[in-house]
Amino acid sequence: MERGRHAGLLLKAALVAVIAAGCALFQEVDSYLEGGGLSQDVGQHRWWNGFGPVLSHEDFPADCSMCHLGNDWHELVEDFEFDHGLETGHELAGAHTQAACLRCHNDRGPVRVFEARGCTGCHEDVHQGSLGASCSDCHGETDWSEASMLGRSAIDRLHRRSGFELVGAHALTSCDRCHAGSSRGLFGDAPKSCEACHVGDLQAAKAPDHISLGWVQRCDECHQPLTWQEAEL
């Protein structure tokens, strides 16, 4: 039975992988045949070789003083404004509207490459790859911190989909009681078995003595997660 379940899951996973890889490959081949595929991007090649400013100024007004102040390129005029959406067709949202230009347009890589990498092109993946690439499932653009990004329903959904419905006392427990690295964005290390977190309670359970009786697993066969104080028989 167990083996069958695993086989079924692996089969589904393989199916997902094959479909996705097939779609991706088809697109790549299609793009290649159209001439826009795996070719060198001349503009980026020039960029990496240090030609010109970080951001192309070719379409900018010829009067440098409209934006630059003084006799170097470091300082911008006090009333400098640049409508990113209007001028580039790429509207900035949330905190990005206040970001300094050089945070995205800098010498570490063409901004189009950063964007191609998704959010992690600029924001390091503090989850260390454990949560995948869909940052927008949890994060908004106004503020990056978890307090503003995850509604209660989103937290409940994530737990439901992981097979650990937040019921009773668990629905009131702070994240770091189970996810030790939660304040650092690390959530992947929380086992679902009761004894993994409640091992101290298990060792303290002497009436009856759970360990001597061999009651060290599957606590939820007898207990419900109802109260703060102790599990209820």
Partner 1 sequence: MRETRSSGGATMRIVLGISLGAWAFVGLARGQAEEAPDVVLEEDPGPGLERVALDLRVLGTGTAPSELVQAGLAPAGELLRIDRGARHGVALADPVELLPRGGAVHRGTVAFVDERTALVRLFGDGVRLEPGVPGVVRVLPAPSNSPEPGGVGTSPGDEALNPGDADGADERPEWQRLRDSWTPDMPLLARVTAERPEQRAFAWGGRWYTRAGLATNLDADRGSASSRTGAVLWAENPFGAGGELDLDVEYDLQTTFVPSEDGHDSGHSRLRFDRASYRLGGTRFERDRHTFGRFLPELPELGALDGYEWSRRLEGGDRIGASVGYRVQSDLDAATGNDLAFSGFYRWVADERELLTASAGVQKSYHNGDRDRDLLVLRFDHRPGFGLDAGEAWDLHGSVLLDKYSDEDFREDGLGLTRALLETGRSWDAPGGKQDHLRLSYRHLELPEQLFGELDPLALASLVREDEDRVQAEGGRWLAEDRRLNGAVSVWTAGGLEDDSGGDLEVGLELLDLAAYGPGQGPGTGEVSVFTSGGRYQATNGLLASYGRRWDTVGWTALYEAKQTDFDGFDADNDDLLQHRLRVTADLAPSLGEWYLAGHADLLVFGDDGGLTLGVYFGRSF
Place of tokens 């790429």: 90
CB of 90 to partner 1, least distance (A): 6
Among candidate residues 122, 190, 43, the one with its CA nearest the CA of residue 135? 122
The one among 35, 132, 208, 214 contacting partner 1 by CB under 8 A: 132
Residue 209 lies near partner 1 (rule: CB under 8 A): no
Residue 154 lies near partner 1 (rule: CB under 8 A): no
Instruction: State which of positions 133-152 bind partner 1 (CB under 8 A).
Output: 133-134, 142-143, 145, 147-148, 151-152
CB of 207 to partner 1, least distance (A): 15
Whether residue 147 contacts residue 204, with contact meaning beta carbons closer than 8 Å, is answered with no
CB of 35 to partner 1, least distance (A): 13
Measured between alpha carbons, how far is 197 from 179 in angstroms, rounded to an integer?
10
CB of 141 to partner 1, least distance (A): 9
Instruction: State which of positions 74-113 bind partner 1 (CB under 8 A).
Output: 74-75, 77-79, 81-83, 85-90, 94-100, 102-103, 106-109, 112-113
User: CA angle, 163 as apex, 158 and 169 as ends, to 5°?
Assistant: 80
Residue 212 lies near partner 1 (rule: CB under 8 A): no
Query: Phi, psi (5° rounding) for residue 32?
Result: -65, -45
Number of residues forming the site for partner 1 (CB under 8 A) = 137
Instruction: State which of positions 39-78 bind partner 1 (CB under 8 A).
Output: 39-41, 44-45, 47-54, 61-66, 68-75, 77-78
User: CA angle, 96 as apex, 93 and 101 as ends, to 5°?
Assistant: 135
Residue 217 lies near partner 1 (rule: CB under 8 A): yes
- Which residue number, 65 or 208, has a Cβ lying nearer to partner 1? 65
The secondary structure of 79-130, three-state, reads: CCCCCHHHHHCCCCCHHHHHCCHHHHCECCECHHHHHHCHHHHCCCCCCCCC
CB of 113 to partner 1, least distance (A): 5
Measured between alpha carbons, how far is 33 from 35 in angstroms, rounded to an integer?
5
Among candidate residues 147, 198, 204, the one with its CA nearest the CA of residue 175? 147
Measured between alpha carbons, how far is 15 from 195 in angstroms, rounded to an integer?
35
The one among 172, 208, 212, 214 contacting partner 1 by CB under 8 A: 172
Residue 126 lies near partner 1 (rule: CB under 8 A): yes
Residue 123 lies near partner 1 (rule: CB under 8 A): no
The one among 34, 122, 139, 196 contacting partner 1 by CB under 8 A: 196
